[in-house]
Amino acid sequence: MMDIDTEPVAADVAARIVTPGSAITSDPAFMRGHGTFGEGATIYSSVAGVVERINKLVSVRSLKQRYSGEIGDIIVGRITEVAAKRWRVDVNSRQDGVLLLSSINLPGGIQRRKSESDELQMRSFFAEGDLVFAEVQSYFADGALSLHTRSIQYGKLRNGTFVAVFPQLVPRSRTHFHTLPCGVDIVLGVNGYIWVSKHVSAAKVEANAEHIYSDCNEPISDAEREAIARVANCVQLLNRLYVKITETSVIFAYEESLGHAAKDLLSQDVAAELAHSVMARLKQQAS
């Protein structure tokens, strides 16, 4: 855990939690960044957040802020509007992302230019309310994110449940799609949107490429439903107690939760106990 500091620091600008008006440093060698203001030779925090330092630039990242996208980010979004040759997607950012018709795979993985008939069938691909697994491809001139799903692993999400967490808790990593030992798939969107679903093998997905835009879930057993609910509740308790959400922390939380019923995981006492156990195991692993 990081300490909350209120005293000026001369040269050591370490990562720590600060509140509005907290003195960060009085060293004139440092420059003010986002989330700070200066008064005399001292730099103060203007928001509640974590101090970050890049060389001599000091900034404060707010503890609760909307997702700010970068090219290559893996995100989970919800379709909010079907427009001309594009879908608008809620990505938990300042404005909706855009998924162009030309940026998706056609059923069966067919590679060809999209025609007027494809535009007329856009709601058969994605309709309002659908959840989509996508990658940030570029930015538009107004700052909106341009998304794409041109991969067999991306596309419409089914067979599971949705969980929203703080984006700051999901670090960028090499892969954001994981199959957990309990037989559950999880997509950790760096925008704070997470999808937990039953495991479907890559071979089965490729074999059923014609049905990638189906709205029907596959049969889900009671055991699979309980595993999905347990993992989703583990993610929520990690978010509630502000613990980083990674494949490792979710697995640790799941293992620690097996002594409790899935419905009891979000009670305050159980959630606190499990979160402290997870943090202890993460610290032990790091050492």
Give the domain CATH number at 122.
2.40.50.140
Summarised one tens digit per residue, pLDDT across range 24-45 is: 998 888 999 989 999 988 999 9
State the residue range of the domain holding 174.
74-286
237: enclosing H helix or E strand: helix 222-240
Sorting pLDDT into bands at 50, 70 and 90, what band is 110?
Answer: low
Among 39-43, 104-108, 151-155, the range with the most confident prediction by mean pLDDT is 39-43
Sorting pLDDT into bands at 50, 70 and 90, what band is 61?
Answer: confident
147, 214: one domain: yes
**pLDDT reading at 284 higher than 90:** no
pLDDT at 10: 41
26, 100: one domain: no
N- to C-terminal Cα distance for the chain? 15
Averaged pLDDT, 180-195: 94
178, 236: one domain: yes
Q: Tell me if 67 is assigned to some domain.
A: no
Averaged pLDDT, 233-254: 92
**Closest Cα to residue 235, out of 225, 227, 246?**
246
223, 92: one domain: yes
Residue 230 tokens read as 């347990």
Distance CA 184, CA 233 (A): 13
Q: Tell me if 5 is assigned to some domain.
A: no
78, 175: one domain: yes
Entry pTM: 0.81
Sorting pLDDT into bands at 50, 70 and 90, what band is 9?
Answer: very low
CATH of residue 50's domain is: 2.40.50.100
Are residues 31 and 37 in contact, defined by beta-carbon separation less than 8 angstroms?
no
**pLDDT reading at 250 higher than 80:** yes
- What b/e string do you get for 47-75 counting C-beta neighbours within 10 Å, with b at 16 or more? bbbbbebeeeebbbeeeeeebebeeebbb
Are residues 273 and 203 in contact, defined by beta-carbon separation less than 8 angstroms?
no
Q: Tell me if 129 is assigned to some domain.
A: yes
Handedness of CA 265, 267, 270, 275 (dihedral sign): positive
